[in-house]
Chains A and B, each alone.
Chain A
Amino acid sequence: MNSRSLQTTIVFLVIGGILALALGGFFGSASRQFSSVLVELQTWVSSRYLGIQDFVTAPRDIVSLRARNVELEAQVSQLQTQVIELQQRVNETEILAALVDFSRSNPESTYKAASVIGRDPSPFLHYIIINRGSNDDIRRGMPVVTNQGLVGRIDAVIADAARVQLITDPASSINVYLQNAETDAVLFGSVTGDVSLDMISQDSSVEPGDLILTSGLGGGYPSDLIIGQVVTMRSLEFELFQQATVQPAVDFTRLDIVLVITNFRPVDITPLVP
Chain B
Amino acid sequence: MRNIVAFPLLLLAVILQSSVVSQVKLLSGYADLPLLILGAWALQKRVKSAWHWAALGCLMIGFVSAMPWPVLVLNYLAVVFIAQTLQRRVWQAPLLAMFSIAFMGTLLLNFLSYVVLSVLGTSFVFADVIGLITLPSLLLNMLFSIPVYTFMRDLARWVYPTEEYE
> CA of A119 to CA of B65 in the docked complex: distance in angstroms?
8
Check: B105 CB closer than 8 A to any chain A CB. no
By the criterion CB–CB under 8 Å, are B22 and A119 in contact?
A: yes
> CA of A119 to CA of B23 in the docked complex: distance in angstroms?
8
Check: B132 CB closer than 8 A to any chain A CB. yes
Q: How many residues of A contact B (CB 8 A)?
A: 22
The interface residues of chain B, by DSSP majority, are classed as helix
By the criterion CB–CB under 8 Å, are B66 and A155 in contact?
A: yes
Q: Which of A116-138 contact B (CB under 8 A)?
A: 117-125, 127, 129
> CA of A209 to CA of B64 in the docked complex: distance in angstroms?
37
By the criterion CB–CB under 8 Å, are B18 and A192 in contact?
A: no
Kindly supply a per-residue 1/0 record for chain B positions 11-38, scoring 1 wherever the CB is within 8 Å of any chain A CB and 0 otherwise. 0001101110111010011101010000
Known contacts A118-B22, A163-B66, A123 near B117 by CB under 8 Å: no
Contact of A119 among B19, B113, B122, B128 (CB under 8 A): B19
Which residues of B have CB within 8 Å of A117?
19
By the criterion CB–CB under 8 Å, are A121 and B17 in contact?
A: yes
- Counting chain B CB atoms within 10 Å of each CB, the highest count among A123, A127, A192 belongs to A123
Which residue of A is nearest B124, CB measured? A191
By the criterion CB–CB under 8 Å, are B132 and A192 in contact?
A: yes
Check: B73 CB closer than 8 A to any chain A CB. no
Check: B92 CB closer than 8 A to any chain A CB. no
By the criterion CB–CB under 8 Å, are B122 and A171 in contact?
A: yes
Which residue of B is nearest A124, CB measured? B113
By the criterion CB–CB under 8 Å, are A121 and B121 in contact?
A: no
Check: A190 CB closer than 8 A to any chain B CB. yes
> CA of A123 to CA of B21 in the docked complex: distance in angstroms?
11
- Counting chain B residues whose Cβ lies within 8 A of the other chain, the interface size class is 20 to 34
Which residue of A is nearest B35, CB measured? A121
Kindly supply a per-residue 1/0 record for chain A positions 163-182, scoring 1 wherever the CB is within 8 Å of any chain B CB and 0 otherwise. 10100001100000000000
By the criterion CB–CB under 8 Å, are A129 and B18 in contact?
A: yes
By the criterion CB–CB under 8 Å, are A170 and B65 in contact?
A: no
By the criterion CB–CB under 8 Å, are B18 and A118 in contact?
A: yes
Check: B61 CB closer than 8 A to any chain A CB. yes
Contact of B122 among A163, A170, A192 (CB under 8 A): A170
Identify 14 new A-B residue pairs, CB closer than 8 A, beyond the known A118-B19, A121-B32, A124-B114. Answer: A117-B19, A118-B64, A120-B18, A120-B22, A121-B17, A121-B18, A121-B34, A121-B61, A121-B64, A170-B117, A170-B123, A190-B128, A191-B28, A192-B132
Chain A residues packing against B (C-beta within 8 Å): 117-125, 127, 129, 155-156, 163, 165, 170-171, 188, 190-193
Chain B residues packing against A (C-beta within 8 Å): 14-15, 17-19, 21-23, 25, 28-30, 32, 34, 61, 64-67, 110, 113-114, 117, 120-125, 128-129, 132-133, 137
